[in-house]
Amino acid sequence: MEDILQIGDKRLTNRLFVGTGKFPDKAVIKDVLEQSGAEVVTVALRRVDQDSQDENILNYIPESCVLMPNTSGARNADEAVRIARLAQASGCGNWIKIEVISDNKYLLPDNSETLKATGILAKEGFVVMPYMSPDLYYAKKMVDAGAASIMPLGAPIGSNRGIKTRELVRILINEIEVPVVVDAGLGKPSEAAECMEMGCDAVLVNTAIATAKNPVLMAQAFSEAVKAGRMAFLAGTPTVQSEANASSPLTGFLRDDK
Amino acid sequence: MKVKINGQEEQLPENMTIAEMVHHKGLTPEAVVIEHNENICPREHWSETTLSADDMIEIVSFVGGG
ipTM: 0.96
Contacts of A51 in chain B (CB under 8 A): none
pTM: 0.95
How many whole angstroms separate alpha carbon B66 and alpha carbon A68? 10
**Distance from the A35 Cα atom to the nearest Cα atom in chain B, whole angstroms:** 18
Q: For residue B24, what is the nearest residue in chain A, using CA coordinates?
A: A50
- Closest partner residue to A157 (CB to CB) among B27, B35, B66 is B66
**Distance from the A4 Cα atom to the nearest Cα atom in chain B, whole angstroms:** 23
Chain B: residues touching A (Cβ < 8 Å)? 5-7, 25-28, 30-33, 35, 40, 42-43, 58-66
CB atoms within 10 A of CB A14: 17
Mutation target for B interface from A47, A60, A65, A160: give the one with most B CBs within 10 A.
A47
**What is the sign, positive or negative, of the torsion defined by CA atoms of A79, A82, A86, A89?**
positive
CB pairs under 8 A between A and B: 89
Beta bridge partners of A5: A12
How many whole angstroms separate alpha carbon A39 and alpha carbon A10? 10
Contacts of B59 in chain A (CB under 8 A): 47-48, 50
**Distance from the A41 Cα atom to the nearest Cα atom in chain B, whole angstroms:** 8
Q: Provide the CA B23 distance to its chain's centre, in angstroms.
A: 10
pLDDT class of A258 with cuts at 50, 70, 90: low
Percent with pLDDT over 90 in chain A: 93
Mean pLDDT (whole number) for B11-21: 96
Amino acid identity of residue A30, one-letter, is K
Q: For residue B8, what is the nearest residue in chain A, using CA coordinates?
A: A50
**What is the sign, positive or negative, of the torsion defined by CA atoms of A236, A241, A247, A249?**
negative
* pLDDT tens per residue, range A72-103: 999 999 999 999 999 999 999 999 999 999 99
| Cα A200 to Cα A12, A28, A53, A103, A182, distances in angstroms | 14, 28, 40, 26, 7
Mean pLDDT of chain A: 96
pLDDT at residue A170 is higher than 90 = yes
Q: Name the DSSP letter for residue A6.
A: E
Q: Do B64 and A53 touch (CB under 8 A)?
A: no
Q: Are strands B56-64 and B39-41 parallel, antiparallel or unpaired?
A: unpaired
**Distance from the A71 Cα atom to the nearest Cα atom in chain B, whole angstroms:** 10
Q: Do B59 and A48 touch (CB under 8 A)?
A: yes
Q: Do A87 and B33 touch (CB under 8 A)?
A: yes
Amino acid identity of residue A45, one-letter, is L
pLDDT at residue A52 is higher than 80 = no
Q: Do B6 and A47 touch (CB under 8 A)?
A: yes
pLDDT class of B4 with cuts at 50, 70, 90: very high
Catalytic-residue membership of A97? yes
Q: For residue A150, give every residue at least 6 positions away whose Cβ sits within 8 Å of its Cβ, in sequence order, or none.
A: A130, A132, A139, A142, A143, A172, A176, A178, A179, A180, A181
The active-site residue out of A97, A123, A140, A227 is A97
Q: Do B64 and A57 touch (CB under 8 A)?
A: yes
Percent with pLDDT over 70 in chain A: 99
With contact defined as beta carbons under 8 Å apart, do A15 and A7 qualify?
no
Mean pLDDT (whole number) for A147-161: 97
* pLDDT tens per residue, range A200-237: 999 999 999 999 999 999 999 999 999 999 999 999 98
pLDDT at residue B50 is higher than 90 = yes
Q: Do A43 and B62 touch (CB under 8 A)?
A: yes
Q: For residue B58, give every residue at least 6 positions away whose Cβ sits within 8 Å of its Cβ, in sequence order, or none.
A: A47, A86, B5, B6, B34, B35
* pLDDT tens per residue, range A21-51: 999 999 999 999 999 999 999 999 999 988 7
